[in-house]
Structure 1
Amino acid sequence: MRLELDGKSFGHREILGRITLTVSRGERLAILGPSGIGKSTLLRILAGLDSRFRGQLEGGDRLALVFQEPVLLPWRDAIANITIPTGCDVDTARHWMEQVGLSGHEAKFPRQMSLGQQRRLALARAFAAGPDILLADEPFASLDEDTRARMLALTEELLTHTGAGLVIVTHDATEAEALRARSLRLSGNPAELQKD
């Protein structure tokens, strides 16, 4: 995946400036910066969810996205929350639920699961899609310290096991360290990437 961004604005307000970014399978990148700097906007551009920018995005990489909130289907059980969005079969969904420690929860609905379990289900769904690159938008926000540490360790293990690349946006440098990701900082007005 390669982004050659000339700029991104909302109305007359320029949010992102000139950014060149290349990410390959197996490479891990953390984009750091304070709230409101444009991290999530940059991730949405990389994900192909925002095409209203000046520049060019190239690459045929298979992507999976993990949002700040789990974004689950409340009317479907855990297995369906994996099979429906990814198109994988039930055995694959069960495999990934086992990988994230959710064996035995296959028939539960999201409302019957804790936030930590919902986050793990969202992670299982992302890996079930078989991504070349995982895009993550502050997926560990609002978790207690123990759950956050477990989720970071689990994500790092799954990335290593699958060989998937990672682009994570966060304001916490310790998350980048835990995931063994190269850090870049988004700063300025309009924001541009700097080595952290």
Structure 2
Amino acid sequence: MRLDLEAKAFAGHEVLGPLSIRLARGERRAVLGPSGIGKSTLLRILSGLDTDFRGRIGGDERRAVVFQEPVLLPWRDALANVTIPTGCADGVARDWLAQVGLVGHEAKFPRQLSLGQQRRLALARAFAAAPDILLMDEPFASLDAGTAARMLVLTDELLSRSGAGLFLVTHDPAEARTLRAEALYLGGQPARFQPAPPAPDQA
């Protein structure tokens, strides 16, 4: 996956400046920066959801996206929430549901699942699509600390098992470290990749 971005603007206001990204299967990157800097906008460009930018994007890798919210089909059970979007067989969906810890929940609807379980379902759906690159947009936001920690470990395990690459948008450097992702920092107006900010004074 490669992106050579010249600029991205909203209503004439340039939010992203020139930047380049290269990411192959098995590689992991995390983009950090303050709220509103353009991290999610960059992910939408990489996912193909936003095509209104100046620049070039390429690569034939299969990509799947995990959003800030689970974005599930409320009128379908957990199994169908995996098979319908991905087109995978029931057996494949059941295997991924098992890998994320949702055995016995296949017939439940999203409203019958906790938020943590909904996030696990979204993760199973993404991996069932057999992506080469997994794009994740603040996927652990709004989870309590314990649930977020377990989700981070699970995500790391599934990435290693599947061999997929990772492009993570997060505000938390600890998430990038846990997922063993190279940290990239967005800053400035318009935003560009910048050197890592200095560590907090430990004195």
Partner of 1:90 in structure 2?
90
Preserved CA contact (<8 Å) 1:9 1:53: yes
Secondary structure of the residue aligned to 1:14 is strand
Matched, 1:64 2:43: no
Tell me how far 1:193 sits from its aligned partner.
Answer: 1.1
Tell me how far 1:195 sits from its aligned partner.
Answer: 3.9
TM-score by length of 2: 0.96
Aligned counterparts of 2:14 and 2:133: Cα–Cα separation in 1: 28
Q: Deviations over 1:86-124 (max 9, x none)?
A: 000000000000000000000000000000000000000
Tell me how far 1:11 sits from its aligned partner.
Answer: 1.2
Preserved CA contact (<8 Å) 1:183 1:195: no
Tell me how far 1:194 sits from its aligned partner.
Answer: 2.1
Q: 5 Å matches for 1:22-61?
A: 22-61=22-61
Partner of 1:100 in structure 2?
100
- Identity among equivalent positions (%) equals 68
Partner of 2:119 in structure 1?
119
Partner of 2:110 in structure 1?
110
Segments of 4+ in structure 1 off by > 4 A?
Answer: none
Q: Deviations over 1:124-144 (max 9, x none)?
A: 000000000000000000000
Partner of 2:10 in structure 1?
10
Tell me how far 1:12 sits from its aligned partner.
Answer: 1.7
Number of aligned positions between the proteins: 196
Amino acid at match of 1:141: A
Secondary structure of the residue aligned to 1:37 is coil
Aligned counterparts of 2:82 and 2:194: Cα–Cα separation in 1: 36
Aligned counterparts of 1:181 and 1:66: Cα–Cα separation in 2: 16
Partner of 1:165 in structure 2?
165
Aligned counterparts of 1:119 and 1:180: Cα–Cα separation in 2: 20
Aligned counterparts of 2:155 and 2:194: Cα–Cα separation in 1: 25
Q: Give 5+ residue unaligned stretches, structure 1.
A: none
Partner of 2:180 in structure 1?
180
Secondary structure of the residue aligned to 1:57 is strand
TM-score by length of 1: 0.99
Secondary structure of the residue aligned to 1:157 is helix
Q: Please report the RMSD computed on the Cα atoms of aligned residues, expressed in angstroms.
A: 0.5
Tell me how far 1:51 sits from its aligned partner.
Answer: 0.5
Partner of 2:199 in structure 1?
none
Secondary structure of the residue aligned to 1:75 is coil
Preserved CA contact (<8 Å) 1:68 1:141: yes
Q: Deviations over 1:4-56 (max 9, x none)?
A: 00000001211000011100000000000111000000000000110000000
Q: Give 5+ residue unaligned stretches, structure 2.
A: 197-203
